[in-house]
Amino acid sequence: MQIEIERLAFGGAGIAKKDGKVFFVIGGLPKDVLEINIIKDKGSYAEAVIANIIEPSPDRIEPNCPVFKLCGGCQLQNLTYPAQLREKEHILKETMSRIGGMHDASLEPIVSSPKEFGFRNKVTLSAWFYKGQWHLGYNQKGSTRKVPIESCPISEEIVDKTITKISDVLSSLGDPHFPLDKIHISSNGVKSQITLVPVHNRKGDTLKTLHRHLKRHEETENVSIAGIGETGFEFSILGNKFITTPSAFTQVNSSINELMINTVLEWAELNENTTVLDLYSGIGNFSIPLARASKEVLGVEISKNSVKLANKNAELNSVKNIVFQNASSEDAITILNDQEEKFDLVVLDPPREGAKEIIDGLVKLDTEKIIYVSCDPATLARDLKKLDVLGYKVVKIRPFDMFPQTFHIESITMLSK
């Protein structure tokens, strides 16, 4: 069957329509003319793969990575960067309309990443033994099967060199029973920090041999083992100092993260009397900059480790008008409403699942302004639709390209009561 791809779907598949049916074509790019093979027919729509490229899209390019066609880490390396940005804007707008019912949402142009490649300051790699050798890599597209790598072009140079060095060291180890499962690698812009993760239920001290091997090399000398004392390291964001660990959640694109923090601060319009509730606060990424320009901030985070780090970061920056609470956002909002606490601003940065469980409680807090940081257009649209029904209107949405070469879209939405 011959079709022409119209646009991209969230997830990276190309969308085409023919004879009243929608086709999601893996690897298809806008304006590609393709011969396709259907792999799943769902009636009103079908999933397909490319059998032959009859006429390539003018935006189709050669990918920068040798394992792009196999690796599940990137989906859009074969699409020019301007076209990636165009498609992400369209995906976000279409999702707001289709799921959120916001046909005229005030969507700003997407903020591009200063780096199209070499932007990731942290990665998590799987490790496995196959055919007499250890390998390091990611999952294949749509599969749990692994793709071995020796480098990763979307990673910062320091992280990429570390991947290569670890791969070299692992390849010299011949023990198939070595209890290594994953490796976290993070960078502070100067050096990389590595955490070795043992196989489930295995003691971390069994990785001390690999730990010693890696510490001999300059690129891999900062090594710790999960479960027996993960080492923290310091980095800087907009003049604020932060301590984190490779396994803790932090934003992977430092430049875009700073632009997002600046947007939150700009839209917050803080003064010395402003009280702020920061939900899903992590290690204080937004909380600490917010606290510097407001009366007080309450950060809520479910991860004990992140709260521990956040308290260290507040102390490190001499920020005293902030409290971090270790709780789920849902439980914290219930307690705050019971105590009739009020805030001038609520900032939330939930995981991909969104904030569905807290919307009713959030509305009950009766704050004037909400700033919603999202990493998933579908759950964002769902939550904004409910907030709209309950009295909060979208003022503006600003998308950010946190993850070039992938289908992922970060965004910040401001809502007003």
Are 248 and 283 within 8 A, CB to CB?
A: yes
- Report residue 398 as tokens: 């600003």
Report the b/e string of 357-376 with b at 16+ CB within 10 A.
ebbebbbebebebbbbbbbb
pLDDT, tens digit, for every residue of 228-239? Answer: 888 899 999 999
Query: What local confidence, expressed as pLDDT, does residue 40 receive?
Result: 93
Domain at 122-233, CATH from 2.40.50.1070, 3.40.1170.10, 1.10.10.10, 3.40.1260.10: 2.40.50.1070
Say which residues have a Cβ less than 8 Å from residue 71's Cβ, sequence separation at least 6: 65, 137, 138, 139, 140, 141, 147, 149
Gap between the Cα atoms of 339 and 155, Å rounded: 46
Q: Which fold has domain 2-60?
A: OB fold (Dihydrolipoamide Acetyltransferase, E2P) (2.40.50)
In order, the DSSP letters of 186-229 are: EE-SS-EEEEEEEPTTS-GGGGHHHHHHHHTSGGG-SEEETTS-
Provide the pLDDT for residue 212: 87
Any idea which residue has 């093979």 for tokens? Answer: 37
CA nearest to 240, candidates 310, 158, 295, 326 = 310
Over the chain (417 residues), the average pLDDT of each successive run of 10 is: 96 94 96 96 93 98 94 95 98 96 91 98 94 91 88 96 92 82 94 91 74 86 88 94 95 97 98 98 98 98 97 98 98 97 98 97 97 98 97 97 98 97
Helix, strand, or coil (residue 178): coil
Same CATH fold, 253-416 and 122-233?
A: no
Calculate the dihedral angle through the C-alpha atoms of 47, 51, 52, 57, rounding to the nearest 10 degrees: 20
State the pairing for strand pair 322-326/296-301: parallel
Sign of the CA dihedral running 38, 139, 91, 52: negative
CA–CA separation, 105 vs 92, rounded Å?
10
Closest CA to 227 of 202, 193, 194: 202
Residue 201: per-residue pLDDT: 64
What's the topology of domain 253-416?
Rossmann fold (3.40.50)
Contacts of 198 (CB under 8 A, 6+ apart): 179, 180, 181, 204, 206, 207, 225, 226, 227
Q: What local confidence, expressed as pLDDT, does residue 204 receive?
A: 64
Q: Are 3 and 50 in contact (CB under 8 A)?
A: no
The count of residues in the chain is: 417
Cα–Cα dist 2/198, whole Å = 49
3-class secondary structure, 45: strand
Q: What is the pLDDT of residues 312-334, one digit of tens each?
A: 999 999 999 999 999 999 999 99
User: Looking at residue 251, what is its pLDDT?
Assistant: 95
Residue extents of the structural domains in the chain: 2-60, 122-233, 253-416
The whole-number pLDDT of residue 318 equals: 97
Nearest alpha-carbon partner for 185 in 194, 172, 176, 197: 194
Q: What pLDDT does residue 228 have?
A: 83
C-alpha 63/C-alpha 79 separation (Å) is 8
Nearest to 372 by CA among 337, 341, 348: 348
Per-residue tokens: 388? 């709209």
3-class DSSP assignment, residue 305 = helix
341: left (phi over 0), alpha (psi -120 to 50) or beta: beta
* Residue 375 designated active-site: yes
